[in-house]
Amino acid sequence: MTTQPPADASAPDPTGPAQGIVRLTLQGNMFTTSMVTPTVRINGYPMPASYGTQDIPVWAGPTRVDIETQWTRTYGQAGLAFDVAPGQVVDVFYAAPYHVFAKGAIGHTKQRRAGLAPLLIGLAVFVVFVGLVIGLGS
């Protein structure tokens, strides 16, 4: 009796559907963005992801990438729909917002983080308030 070696699960199936690559870049890192890595879903399926760039194989055809971040609540939601041709590499960039009340930014080029102006205004108001309290206490 001859035994066959097990099939390599990582080898592409030449008879299966054509594939492409989503080159996903989660901008920032755990110190500048969030200690919790954003949640990534491709065509509704959760994908493991980390800050930086990673290549994710997908079936050729319509593709949707949805990303959100969570801290005390879910925020930074963003989604992008596009087509992937067989063998094509599609760049997708995501930037989480500066605070939990803003949406995330997603696109095919590097993204700017949303919500900087409200964050700076809130910090300025806080600093003025603390300055008034200290000044009145003296």
CATH of domain 19-137: 2.60.40
Question: pTM, whole model, 2 decimals?
Answer: 0.72
Tell me the C-alpha distance between 83 and 18, whole Å: 13
Q: Domain segments of the chain: what residues?
A: 19-137
Q: Does pLDDT of 48 surpass 60?
A: yes
Evaluate whether 59 touches 44 at the Cβ level (below 8 Å). Answer: no
Q: Does pLDDT of 45 surpass 60?
A: yes
pLDDT per position as a tens digit, 66-76: 999 887 888 88
Tell me the C-alpha distance between 56 and 66, whole Å: 14
Buried b (16+ CB within 10 A) or exposed e, 82-100: eebeeeeebebbbbbbbbb
Q: For residue 8, which amino acid is it?
A: D
DSSP 8-state assignment for residue 76 = E
Across 26-38, average pLDDT = 79
| Model pLDDT, residue 77 | 93
